[in-house]
Structure 1
Amino acid sequence: MRVGDVTVRIHGIDAPETNQTCDDAQGRTWPCGAFVTEEISRRYEGKTATCELIELDRYGRSVAKCFVAGSDVGEQIVADGLAQAYRQYSMDYDLVEKSAQVLSLGLWAGTMQSPAAFRADQRAAVLDANPPSTPTDANCFIKGNISVSGQIYHMPHNRHYDNTRINENRGERWFCSEADAQAAGWRAARN
C-alpha cells in the first residue's frame, strides 16, 4: 500500500503474489493474485489512510497497521478472504481468517497454496534454473549478494549465509576478505 511516498507492507497479513493462481470450487485455475491486487487497489486507491508503524522488516521496508475511515485495512482484507493471517509474524487476524474460511469467503471459496509456500516454490524454481556458483578458491568464501538493499556481503556466521545464493551472471561475487568486499563498495550484512 502506498501512503504518501512510502510503500507500506500491511502488518499481519499474507496476500497471494500477483502472479499466483488458485483453484475455484469447481477446480478451475484462476489468477487469484492479480484479482486480489486489483480488488485492494479498487478499494483503497485514493483513500486517506492512517498507519501505525509496527517495525521495519529485514529489507528496511515499513510494516504497519493501517486504517481507512477508522477500519483496520488488514483485518478487512483477511475478513473478506483476500489474504491469510500471517501467523509467523502476528496472531492479530487468526480468528478473522478462520471465520472467512468457515464462510468460504473470497479465496476460501476454492483452494490456494499459501503465499509463503508459493514464494518458496518460486525461489526453488529459480535456483533450479540457475544453480548457485561455488567459489573457485576455497579461501574466498565471503558471499557478495545484490538485493533491494544494495550490495551486501555475507560471512559464514551471518543468519542468511546458508540461504544466500551467488549468481555471477547478475554481478554477484565471492570475496576472499572483508577488506576486499569493502574496497569494492559492498557493505556487511546486518545480521
Structure 2
Amino acid sequence: MKIPQLLSAAAAVIVSILSSYSSLAAEAIVGRASVVDGDTIEIRSQRIRLHGVDAPESWQLCGDGDGGSYRCGREAAIALERFLAASRPARCKIIERDRYGRFVATCFRADGREINRWLVANGNAVDWEKYSGGHYADVQEAARSKGVGIWRGKFQLPCEARAAHTRREPSC
C-alpha cells in the first residue's frame, strides 16, 4: 500500500472514531437502573456516572448533627435506590465516557424528574462544580439551608475523602 493510500485509510478511521464520539452525546440509555453507589448507576450492564454530582463514598462517615456519625455514602445509595424505584425506567442522556470507561450522563426517572438534581437537592450528593459549572448550586444551597442529608452535620467533600483514603491529591 502506498503512503497516500495509507494516509487516506488512516483519515477514514479517525473520522469514523470522531463521528462515534460526537454521536455519543445524542445517545440515551433507557432501562431499569440499579444503584452501584450514590452517584453511579447501571442500566443494561452499562455503568453510568451521574454528571456534575459527587456523592460520599460507601465507607465515608459524616456527622449526624448530634455528635455522632453515620455512613453517609451508604445512606445516599439507599436513598437513590428508593428514588429510582418510585418511577421506572430511567433514561440517561450520555455526555461522555470517563477515564474508567463509564458513561457520564444526566439521568431522569420515567416521570421526568432529574436524578442528578434530586441527589443534590436532598443532600445525598454535592454539586461538583468542576464538572457541572455550578449547575446544581441553587439546589445545593437550599439543601444546606434546610440541613438535609450530609448538610445536617459536618462532612468531608467526597473528592477530599477519596484523596485522603488513597493518599493522593484531591481532584476537587
TM-score, with length taken from structure 1: 0.62
Provide Cα deviations, 1:27-54, integer angstroms capped at 9, x if missing partner. 2111111111112122214820111101
Q: Return the match for 1:38 from 74, 78, 82.
A: 78
Structure 1 runs of 4+ aligned residues shifted over 2 Å read none
Q: Return the match for 2:129 from 87, 98, 105.
A: 87
Matched, 1:77 2:129: no
Separation of aligned partners in 2, 1:60 and 1:7: 8
- For residue 131 of structure 2, give the secondary structure of its aligned residue in structure 1: coil
Unaligned runs of 5+ in 1: 128-162, 164-191
Separation of aligned partners in 2, 1:47 and 1:27: 37
Q: Return the match for 1:107 from 125, 130, 150.
A: 150
Give the CA deviation at 1:17.
0.3
Give the CA deviation at 1:120.
0.2
Q: Which residue of 2 aligns with 1:61?
A: 102
Separation of aligned partners in 2, 1:48 and 1:9: 17
Between 1 and 2, higher relative CO (CA 8 Å, sep ≥ 6) is seen in 2
Q: Which residue of 1 aligns with 2:50?
A: 10
Give the AA of the match of 2:59. Answer: N
The residue correspondences of 1:1-191 to structure 2 (distance < 5 A) are 1-45=41-85, 47-68=88-109, 69-90=111-132, 91-124=134-167
Give the AA of the match of 1:53. Answer: I
Provide Cα deviations, 1:4-38, integer angstroms capped at 9, x if missing partner. 22111111100000010101111211111111111
Q: Identify, as 1 or 2, the structure richer in helix.
A: 2
Separation of aligned partners in 2, 1:76 and 1:41: 12
TM-score, with length taken from structure 2: 0.69
Provide Cα deviations, 1:34-87, integer angstroms capped at 9, x if missing partner. 111112122214820111101111222100000001011000111011100011
CA RMSD of aligned residues (A): 1.6
Report the number of matched residues: 126
Give the CA deviation at 1:105.
1.2
> Between the two proteins, what is the percent identity of the paired residues?
35
